[in-house]
Amino acid sequence: MATPVTLSGRGVILVGQTSVEVELCLPDCARRTEFLVQGVHVGPEIVIGGTSIDVVNLPRWGVSVPVYELHPSAALQVALTALGQGAEHISATIPAGQSIGPISGAATLPVHITLLGGTPATHRFEFNVHVTGVCGTPFVCPPIATAAKPRAARGKKGARKKAARKA
**pLDDT of res. 167:** 55
Residue type, 84: G
pTM of this prediction exceeds 0.85: no
Class of residue 7 by CB neighbours under 10 A (exposed 0-12, middle 13-18, buried 19+): buried
**pLDDT of res. 66:** 96
- What value, to the nearest 5°, has the Cα angle with vertex 44 and ends 56 and 133? 155
Q: How many CA atoms lie within 13 A of 95 on its CB side?
A: 0
Give me the percent of the chain exceeding a pLDDT of 90: 70
Output phi, psi for 103, to 5 deg. -90, 5
Nearest to 40 by CA among 152, 130, 108: 130
What radius of gyration, in Å, describes the C-alpha atoms of the chain? Answer: 25
Q: Give the DSSP letter of residue 160.
A: H
Q: What is the pLDDT of residues 3-12, one digit of tens each?
A: 899 999 999 9
Q: What is the pLDDT of residues 105-125, one digit of tens each?
A: 789 999 999 999 999 999 999
Q: Which residues 6+ apart lie within 8 Å of 64 measured at CB? A: 79, 80, 81, 111, 112, 113, 114
